[in-house]
A and B are shown apart, each in its own frame.
Chain A
C-alpha cells in the first residue's frame, strides 16, 4: 500500500510551479516536512531555493500545484491568510523597516497563533536587541543585529513553520555561530524550519535532512547523518 505522505507531514508541497512574468522558475517542486523537522534547501544560485520559500509564502506573481500545511491547501489563498495559518518568512534581504524603530520592527508582525516567544525570551536570545530597542531606525543596526531582528520578530507571532532565507549571508563568523545556536534552540523548542543556505557547512551541522535543488526542482535528498559519506556528491551539486 502506498504511504500517504501528506497525512504525516506538516508541510507537503507537490507539483509546485512558479513564474516571475515569462520566466518559469520552479518546475514541479516536491517536498515534505514533518513537524519539528529542520530541513535545508541546498543548491547553486538560481536553482530556485528562494523562490520555493516565496512560493510557499504566496509572494510570487504566479504559482500552481499544491501546498498543504497542517491539512490546509494554501494555493489560492491571499498572502496574509497563509501567514495567519502559522507560517513566517525571514527574507534574505532581512526586510528591516527604516521608518520603524527597532522596537516597532520587533513588534510589527501580528500574532498568528498561540505559543509565540515572549519579549523577555527574545531579549534573552538576542541581548543586543534589548540594548538597542530604542534605536529610531531599524536599519541603523549592524548587519548581524538586523538579521537577529529579522528572526526575532517572527518568533513572537506564534508561527510554527519558519522559512529562513540565508540567515548567515554576509555575517561575521561569531554572528554566524550565534545564529546557528539560535536555530538549534528553536528546533529544540519544536519549531519546524525550512532553511535556505549557501553555507552548507553551517547547514550540515544543524539539519535533519538536506534537499538539493537544481533547475527549479528537488533532485536529491541527503539525511543529516549521511552528510559525510555524501560529501563528494554534494560538492558536485553545489559546484564548490
Chain B
C-alpha cells in the first residue's frame, strides 16, 4: 500500500472526512451566528442549546410520534425555529437598543435554562438515535472508506450553507437582509416590515442550528450538553472568520474542520487545541477575523 508523507491514505483521507464532517457542523452553526449577529446585533450564546434541541426534537419525534429521520429533518428545524421566534418576539426584541453584552448575557442564561430543563427530564447520559436504514454502511472508494451517512451529512451541509449564501447574496429577500443589517431604520422607512424580518432571521438562524442537531443525532449521542461542548469551538470559528460575513463563516467552518482532521493525523496531541491556536494567531494578525470588516 502506498503512503502519503508516511501516512497510509486510508488514515489520511478518513481523518480528512471526519474533519469535514465536524466542519459541516461548524459551518452551519457559525453561519447561523453570523446571520443573527448581522441582523440583530446579538451574539447568540444559546446557539448550542438550539442545536441540542434539534437533536432532541428528532429523538422525541421518533420516540413519541414514530416519525423517522426524514420527518425530523423537516419538522425539527421548524419546531426549534418557531421556538426561536417566540424567544425573539417575547424577550430578545427588548434588548436591541442596549449594549451587545445584554444580548450575550441573556442568551447565555437562556442556554443554561434550556440545558438544565433537558438534563432534568432526560438525564446527562445521552440517548441513542440510529442512522436511517438506507444510509447504514458505506463503500470503499479505494483510497478510503466512505460511510454513507457521513457523506450525506457533508453533502447536506454544503447544500444548506451555499443555499443560504445564495439567498442572502443573490435574491431580493437577501437584499432586504443586507440593507437591514446596514441601516434597519431606512429599510423600514421604505415600507419593509423590518421587525418581522428580524424575527424571521432569528428563527432561520435557530432553525439552522436545529437542523445541524438533527444531522448530528445519529453521529454523536443525543444529550443535553452536546451543544455546550460544540459551541466553544464554534465561537472560536466565528472569531477566526470574523462575525458578520456569511461566506466567511462557511469557508472558515469547513476549513477549520479540515485543519482539525489533519492535525489528528500528523500531531494528534494538538487536535483538540489547534483551532484555538489558529484563533490566537488570527487575533494577532487580523483582529477583525479573516473575513471581517475592520471597525
Contact = CB atoms under 8 A, between A and B. Distances in A.
Interface string B161-179: 0000000000010011011
B178 A83 contact: no
B175 A110 contact: no
B93 to A, nearest CB: 13
Nearest to A83: B191
B190 A59 contact: no
Given A100-B175, A104-B175, A107-B172, A80 B182 contact: no
A107 B171 CA distance: 11
Nearest to B97: A61
Interface residues of B, number: 19
Contacts of A59: 185, 188-189
B189 A79 contact: yes
Given A107-B172, A108-B175, A95 B186 contact: yes
B192 interface: yes
Contacts of B181: 99
Contacts of B176: 108
A84 interface: yes
A201 B24 CA distance: 62
Interface in A78-118: 78-80, 82-84, 88-89, 91, 95, 97-100, 104, 107-110, 112
B185 A108 contact: no
A89 B191 contact: no
Contact of B190 (A78, A104, A109): A109
Nearest to A101: B175
B178 to A, nearest CB: 4
A57 interface: yes
A109 B191 contact: yes
A84 B189 contact: no
Contacts of B288: none
Contact of A97 (B182, B194, B195): B182
Contacts of B178: 97, 99-100
A88 B188 CA distance: 11
Contact of A80 (B172, B179, B192): B192
Interface string B183-203: 101111111111100000000
Contacts of A58: 189
B200 to A, nearest CB: 14
Interface string B214-258: 000000000000000000000000000000000000000000000
A80 B188 contact: yes
Contacts of B172: 107
Interface string A41-73: 000000000000000011100000000000000
A157 interface: yes
Nearest to A57: B189
A107 B182 CA distance: 16
A84 B193 CA distance: 10
A108 B194 CA distance: 13
B144 to A, nearest CB: 40
The 7 closest A-B pairs by CB, nearest first: A83-B191, A109-B190, A99-B178, A79-B188, A95-B186, A84-B191, A97-B179
Interface of B: 172, 175-176, 178-179, 181-183, 185-195
29 contacts: A58-B189, A59-B185, A59-B189, A78-B188, A78-B195, A79-B188, A79-B189, A80-B188, A80-B189, A80-B191, A80-B192, A80-B193, A83-B189, A83-B190, A83-B191, A89-B186, A97-B179, A97-B183, A99-B179, A99-B181, A100-B178, A100-B179, A107-B172, A107-B175, A108-B190, A109-B191, A110-B192, A112-B191, A157-B191
Given A99-B181, A110-B190, 17 more contacts: A59-B189, A78-B193, A78-B195, A80-B189, A83-B188, A83-B191, A95-B186, A97-B178, A97-B179, A107-B172, A108-B176, A108-B187, A109-B190, A109-B191, A109-B192, A154-B190, A157-B190
